[in-house]
Amino acid sequence: MIKDKEVVLSGIRPTGNLHLGNYYGALSKFVRLQETHDCLFFIADLHALTTNTDPDELHRNVKSILAEYLAAGIDPDKVSIFVQSDVPELSELYLLLNMHVGIGELMRTASFKDKARQCLGLSRENCSDSDDESIEKEIIGASTNKRVCAGLLTYPTLMAVDILAQKARWVPVGKDQLQHLELTRRFARRFNQFYGVEEFIEPDNFEFGDAPVKVPGLDGSGKMGKSEGNCIYLVDDPKVLRKKVMRAVTDEGPKEPNSPLSEPIANLFTLMELTSDPAVVQQFRDAYADCSIRYGDLKKQLAEDILKVTTPIRERINDILADDDYMRRVLARGADRARQQASQTLAEVRHIMGIRKI
């Protein structure tokens, strides 16, 4: 098959094992795209530093994400896999692009407000989304031991650099990353207009004809996320996974035919739509509509269908983790390729911005 020349790039932070949100929002798309596009997939260790301060844990997580990438079917003979910090050109580009990024626009980013709140130990309730002023006050007035690090604020600049450095056209990510992609497009456009150049390509999210994915958690509300404690991990063994699914929050069941779905039940159906056969999903939807549904049956089915997806991945991970040489070779090759394009982009950007030899 002839590959599309358009570049695809995406990354995942090494902050723990990958969960179903990472899988359906990102990883499963990576595996499909590698067949048709020119792809680079990386491990965003510098981004992980914005929230992770344990060096040994970070190192362990980089290895486990790499093993999970490979176990899920990313083929290093078809794509480049690299660690972000192995491409030092990105750090200089990050410094340069930051000269064109406003502090205000970064402070208004939803993920920044969320993470800043977490750093300061504030709950959503006493600091609502619309209440920008109160969160700004908290950030500025925070004591030094509860500070919000500057790296968290400039997170979107680094993410934009990851993408723009490789001239990527497509960025497969989950719904939660769309605001960061919007900022990337804005920064690219601003840079091009400011200098009157066509240096950067404006990237888009990649979906296979579906709407952007937001995988819900098992706790009845919100998205699946490491910091939410509501995850099913690709490495969960069958016993753990079944237990998690059986404990998922539900409601008291439909009282009348064709009742609307409550949020916890809608979430279970969303998970089922991702993992189960459409005919099976329909069967449970019909049972809900005529009030004959038994949530225990639905959960049992869901757990088995999730296991069909995760088991082959889980079974390959340990073999890969045991082979350091192989992992090193994969990353060295990936870094070489990523550095080639990044150093070219850096040379162009330096020149455009006036950093030139006398």
Binding site for ligand TYM (CB under 6 A): 9-13, 21-22, 24-26, 44, 47, 159, 162-163, 171, 173-177, 180, 213-215, 223-225
**Cβ atoms of residues 119 and 155 within 8 Å:** no
Cα–Cα distance for residue pair 170/181, rounded to 1 Å: 10
Least distance CB 178 / ligand TYM (angstroms): 8
Q: Edge-to-edge strands of the sheet including 80-83?
A: 80-83, 37-43, 4-12, 170-171, 204-205
In Å, how far are 10, 68, 251, 270, 280 from 274, measured between CA atoms? Answer: 21, 19, 21, 6, 12
Least distance CB 292 / ligand TYM (angstroms): 30
Catalytic residue among 78, 167, 226, 300: 226
In Å, how far are 97, 119, 137, 154, 302 from 102, measured between CA atoms? Answer: 11, 22, 18, 10, 45
Q: Among candidates 48, 41, 8, 53, which has minimal Cα distance to 155?
A: 48
Question: Is the Cβ of residue 52 or residue 259 nearer to ligand TYM in the bound state?
Answer: 52
Q: Tell me how crowded residue 269 is: count the other CB atoms within 10 A of its CB.
A: 18
**Cβ atoms of residues 20 and 232 within 8 Å:** yes
Question: Is the Cβ of residue 158 or residue 293 nearer to ligand TYM in the bound state?
Answer: 158
Question: Is the Cβ of residue 265 or residue 271 nearer to ligand TYM in the bound state?
Answer: 271
Cα–Cα distance for residue pair 157/191, rounded to 1 Å: 12
Q: Is 223 a catalytic residue?
A: yes
Least distance CB 135 / ligand TYM (angstroms): 20
Q: Is 137 a catalytic residue?
A: no
Least distance CB 174 / ligand TYM (angstroms): 2
Question: Is the Cβ of residue 172 or residue 254 nearer to ligand TYM in the bound state?
Answer: 172
**Cβ atoms of residues 250 and 264 within 8 Å:** yes
Least distance CB 46 / ligand TYM (angstroms): 9
Least distance CB 287 / ligand TYM (angstroms): 26
Question: Is the Cβ of residue 215 or residue 245 nearer to ligand TYM in the bound state?
Answer: 215
Question: Is the Cβ of residue 159 or residue 293 nearer to ligand TYM in the bound state?
Answer: 159
Assign 69 to helix, strand or coil.
helix
Residue spans of beta strands (DSSP E) within the chain:
4-12, 37-43, 80-83, 170-171, 204-205
Burial-class residue 52 by CB neighbours within 10 Å (0-12, 13-18, 19+): middle
Least distance CB 204 / ligand TYM (angstroms): 12
Q: Among candidates 170, 243, 121, 181, which has minimal Cα distance to 4?
A: 170
Catalytic residue among 113, 115, 244, 299: 115
Question: Is the Cβ of residue 293 or residue 345 nearer to ligand TYM in the bound state?
Answer: 345
Annotated catalytic sites, by residue?
Answer: 115, 223, 226
